[in-house]
Amino acid sequence: MLRDSVRSLAEAKIAPFATEVDEEARFPQEALDALVANDLHAVHVPESYGGAGADALATVIVIEEVARVCASSSLIPAVNKLGSLPVVLSGSEELKKTYLGPLAKGDAMFSYCLSEPDAGSDAGGMKTRAVRDGDSWVLNGVKRWITNAGVSDYYTVMAVTDPEKRTKGISAFLVEKSDEGVSFGAPEKKLGIKGSPTREVYLDNVRIPADRLIGAEGTGFATAMKTLDHTRITIAAQALGIAQGALDYAKGYVQERKQFGKPIGDFQGVQFMLADMAMKLEAARQLTYAAAARSERVSLAAGKGGKEDLTFFGAAAKCYASDAAMEITTDAVQLLGGYGYTRDYPLERMMRDAKITQIYEGTNQIQRVVMARNLP
Ligand code: CAA
């Protein structure tokens, strides 16, 4: 039921703007409005904080269905989860009440600030500093590749509080867009997901109250990694949705397109391509759903976020599904031939959008590092 209702909504209210959002590289406000009106913009927020209380699998299904028509729009529910999960997992009761409520209502969005210009794969090499000053923390630094930056009201920012301790000297903070000293770089000019703004976030002597520390001092890196264990599954969901959109389109096209006197779908060469695409997609979906089930087991509501085998499964789902999405969208373009290569058809957009899923929330090379360190 959830899938059917999100699919109808996505087709009616989000799909009509997907091409325009991509071509004009503009934020999909129509998608945000439709998602908020139907309480689908941040479904993961627990009911106790005013949210829909969706489990990880339901969240995956929502993201999948939105990504099937517009990948940029699917970053609304996905990054709302990424940005707010540090608060859900490790934040004080006060922080949860203050910040999850507006997110659940659709009055505010969240972004996640881990990466920096010189700290991407090596997230622990970050330079952004947070220094305690009386009842405040003062933050200075630059965060890079921040999804939905400028649109979001709240930012979870990882910063160094003890430079001697490397990853154990990193802490997590809640920064508001309206805090003095917060500003944004120009939107990056990207290959895909053009409707979702990616910008630098500048922190220039940003003074925040001490109680905006998320969890204990020195636990920020672990919180950031625990968060990614859960949210890499939402990137897998995004990849599944993009791939499903491409497969559905190609499947229809090969029945219409006639060459040599019959639909090209009657040729075995084309049938084999479609069979491979559907097989890879289903394998990726099963792995993603298995990972989502594990995400649930580490009990978000209890705020435990234990490692268990989630770390492996989160990385594996994201890695496998994003590679599958890249292959499937590339083959879908191929099935449309010259038409697939033009902007008159949505497939080149889907192929461009798929690429990022192999890169963000950790490159697929880093996913393999993570998997190798956490073999089941
Ligand atoms: N759960 C809980 N704690 C964890 C953890 C996990 N999954 N992973 C690490 N930790 C903690 C542990 O306390 C660990 O210490 P112990 O080994 O003593 O337990 C500590 O963190 C340090 O861990 P590592 O030694 O493994 O750290 P490392 O420096 O070797 O880095 C890494 C590990 C996996 C390479 C990590 O840096 C990484 O994931 N890099 C990729 C970063 C990334 O994914 N960035 C994405 C940015 S977000 C984005 O793209 C989103 C967007 O906008 C859409």
Centre of ligand 1 from the C-alpha of residue 311, in Å: 10
What is the predicted pLDDT for the residue at 302?
A: 38
Distance from the first to the final alpha carbon of the chain: 33
What is the predicted pLDDT for the residue at 307?
A: 53
What is the predicted pLDDT for the residue at 309?
A: 83
DSSP string, 52-119: ----HHHHHHHHHHHHHH-HHHHHHHHHHHHHHHHHHHH--HHHHHHHHHHHHHTS--EEEE--BTTB
Average confidence score pLDDT of the chain: 96
Most ligand 1 atoms within 8 A of CB, residue of 115, 122, 160, 167 to mutate: 167
Centre of ligand 1 from the C-alpha of residue 228, in Å: 8
- 366 CB under 6 A from ligand 1? yes
What is the predicted pLDDT for the residue at 303?
A: 39
- 311 CB under 6 A from ligand 1? yes
Residue 305 has pLDDT above 50, yes or no: no
Give the residue numbers marked as catalytic.
361
Residue 299 has pLDDT above 70, yes or no: no
Beta bridge partners of 160: 129, 170
What is the predicted pLDDT for the residue at 346?
A: 98
Q: For 329, what's the count of Cα atoms within 13 Å in the CB-facing half-sphere? A: 32
Beta bridge partners of 320: none
**Predicted confidence (pLDDT) per residue in 358-376, tens digit:** 999 999 999 999 999 999 8
Centre of ligand 1 from the C-alpha of residue 202, in Å: 23
Give dist(CA 336, CA 324) in Å, integer.
19
Average pLDDT rounded to a whole number, residues 118-141: 98
Q: How confident is the model at residue 4 (pLDDT cuts 50, 70, 90)?
A: very high
Residue 304 has pLDDT above 60, yes or no: no
Centre of ligand 1 from the C-alpha of residue 141, in Å: 20
- 362 CB under 6 A from ligand 1? yes
Residues 6 or more apart in contact with residue 206 via CB below 8 angstroms: 138, 139, 140, 175, 179, 180, 181, 182
- 225 CB under 6 A from ligand 1? yes
**Predicted confidence (pLDDT) per residue in 324-343, tens digit:** 999 999 999 999 999 999 99
Average pLDDT rounded to a whole number, residues 13-24: 98
% pLDDT > 70, the chain: 97
Please identify, by atom number, the ligand 1 atom nearest to the C-alpha of residue 198.
53
> Which residue's CA is the closest to the ligand 1 atom numbered 21?
222
Centre of ligand 1 from the C-alpha of residue 221, in Å: 7
pTM over 0.90: yes
Q: How are beta strands 198-209 and 262-263 bridged, if at all?
A: unpaired
- Provide ipTM, 2 decimals: 0.98
Most ligand 1 atoms within 8 A of CB, residue of 76, 110, 225, 365 to mutate: 225
**Predicted confidence (pLDDT) per residue in 136-190, tens digit:** 999 999 999 999 999 999 999 999 999 999 999 999 999 999 999 999 999 999 9
Contact 238, 71 (CB under 8 A): yes
What is the predicted pLDDT for the residue at 173?
A: 98
- 123 CB under 6 A from ligand 1? yes
- 229 CB under 6 A from ligand 1? yes
- 121 CB under 6 A from ligand 1? yes
- 307 CB under 6 A from ligand 1? yes
**Predicted confidence (pLDDT) per residue in 214-266, tens digit:** 999 999 999 999 999 999 999 999 999 999 999 999 999 999 999 999 999 99
What is the predicted pLDDT for the residue at 298?
A: 73
Centre of ligand 1 from the C-alpha of residue 167, in Å: 9
Residue 15 has pLDDT above 50, yes or no: yes
Please identify, by atom number, the ligand 1 atom nearest to the C-alpha of residue 307.
1
**Predicted confidence (pLDDT) per residue in 182-194, tens digit:** 999 999 999 999 9
